[in-house]
Amino acid sequence: MAPMPQASYTLTLENTTASLESLAPWIQTVAQQLSLTAETTFRIDLILAEVITNIVEYAYSPGQFNPILIKIKQQANQLVIEVQDQGIPFDPLQAPPVTLPTTLQSANIGGLGIHLLRHYSDECFYQRLNDQNQLTIIIHLPTD
């Protein structure tokens, strides 16, 4: 029998590349317990891959270790994903929209992560609270 869904799921990662290895398996476990579709699971996977990679790469000075807290909860027909970190203040939603390149030579290879975050989330909010970055992402669940 599948385990009963919990009210919320949390994962704490260190801001290291090695810790990213536990992210995708955790998302798969949560998705299974919440009986999410493959499409919704892929969206969460992509959103968190981009957000967490960004924090690991840019939010802290080299050698500075701090936790990143990820929480997923289901509220009626939506998933609420919260990401908190203690890094430098950074609101990814303030980044200007990406202009997609038209040729390989002109392809600016950066900035795609935030573009993907915006596209694959239904709603996204940022606040700086208690010296922490708090990003909240909402995904509307497909209705039967």
Partner 1 sequence: MTFDIKILDNGIKYVKLVGRLDRVGTNAIDNTFTFQVATTKAPVIIDLSEVEFLASIGIRLLLSNARALENRTGKLVLLQPTAAVKDVLSVAGVDQLLEVYDDLEAAQLALSGI
The residues that touch partner 1, with contacts defined as CB under 8 A, are 17, 20-21, 24, 38-39, 42, 45-46, 49-50, 53, 56, 100-105, 107, 109, 112-113, 115-116, 119-120
Q: Considering the complex, state which of residue 44 and residue 72 has its C-beta at the smaller distance from partner 1.
A: 44
Nearest to 19 by CA among 11, 28, 9, 8: 11
CA 66 and chain centroid, separation: 17
Shortest reach from residue 7's CB to partner 1, in Å:
28
Q: Considering the complex, state which of residue 49 and residue 69 has its C-beta at the smaller distance from partner 1.
A: 49
Shortest reach from residue 131's CB to partner 1, in Å:
26
* C-alpha to C-alpha distance for 5 and 79, rounded to whole angstroms: 13
Shortest reach from residue 49's CB to partner 1, in Å:
4
Nearest to 48 by CA among 26, 32, 63: 26
Q: Considering the complex, state which of residue 21 and residue 91 has its C-beta at the smaller distance from partner 1.
A: 21
* C-alpha to C-alpha distance for 30 and 25, rounded to whole angstroms: 9
Backbone angles phi, psi at 47, to 5 degrees: -60, -50
Q: Considering the complex, state which of residue 1 and residue 104 has its C-beta at the smaller distance from partner 1.
A: 104
